[in-house]
Structures are given as C-alpha cells and as structure tokens.
Structure 1
C-alpha cells in the first residue's frame, strides 16, 4: 500500500514524536494514509537524513524537515 505521507524518524527524537502527532491528526482529518520509517537501521537513510529528521514526504516528494506545519500539510494533501 502506498501511503501519501511518509515521516522519516529515529528513536528518541522529540521532534519526530511531535511531527508524528501532527501528521496523524491532519491525515485523520483528510482521510489520507501515512507511515513512519525508522532511519536508524539503514545506512543510506541515516547518511541522507542524519541532521534533518523528522523528514516528511508527501506523494514521494520532500515536504518538510524538523517541524511539520499542519496548515502547509493540509494544503499539500488537498492536491
């Protein structure tokens, strides 16, 4: 199943936890699917996103990093 929103995270990341809460709430409103991917077990993802997690993708394109703006996410999902 393809998820419209993907949040790249790592354990112990408080910004990741906040991003997941916002993404969950917005996707519950819009009916869109979302998932998380833990980068800590993948060398390539760790190298790519080390200092930017959480990183949010919408429809396969990078949308945000560090923080998720709920209004901006809603707007992206309306397309």
Structure 2
C-alpha cells in the first residue's frame, strides 16, 4: 500500500486511463513506496498546499517527487527515474 510519507506522489482521478498507466509505472519503479492523491477528494492538496482539484484538474495524472512537480499526462519510466535522480542530487 502506498504511504503518505513517500517521496513520490501521484495525483489522479477515478476513471482516468492515463492515471492507470502512471500507476503501473510507479509500481514498477517504486514498488509500494509512493502515495496517491485523488484530486476530487475535498481534502486533496498539492505539495505546496493548494487544493489539488483546482491546481491539477486538467493535467492528470501529475507526478511530484519530493514535493516538486516532475511531470504530467504521460508518466513513463524514463521520466520517473530522471526525476528521482535529479531530486536526490545535492
């Protein structure tokens, strides 16, 4: 089960086919060490504390790594790995 304290967060919406594809990529690369946020839930917030539904509604899925947006729409393995590597550099 993805955990809220993970470095990787995926913002999604029910019924989104791109979100399904992104989930598969995160499972492959991160295993269970990622967190999913449904933007349609009233308490869903972005990494900087804004309401996720209004901030990301048209961009879904949205990938954040360490609280920073790393990609949206097409989340693939290369994008995720590059974002993780960039974020881990000093």
> TM-score under structure 1 normalisation?
0.84
CA distance in 2 between counterparts of 1:72 and 1:57 reads 11
Q: Runs in 1 of length 4+ with deviation above 6 angstroms?
A: none
Higher relative helix content: 1
Q: Name the structure, 1 or 2, with higher relative contact order (CA <8 Å, separation 6+).
A: 1
State yes or no: 1:48 paired with 2:79: no
Which consecutive residues of structure 2, in runs of 5 or more, have no partner in the other structure?
44-50
Counterparts of 1:38-77 in structure 2, within 5 Å, are 38-42=38-42, 44-77=51-84
Report the CA distance between 1:72 and its aligned residue: 2.5
CA distance in 2 between counterparts of 1:58 and 1:45 reads 15
Aligned partners of 2:5 and 2:35 also within 8 Å: no
Corresponding pairs, count: 76
Higher relative strand content: 1
Report the CA distance between 1:35 and its aligned residue: 1.2
CA distance in 2 between counterparts of 1:65 and 1:76 reads 12
- Aligned partner of 2:36 in structure 1 is 36
Which consecutive residues of structure 1, in runs of 5 or more, have no partner in the other structure?
none
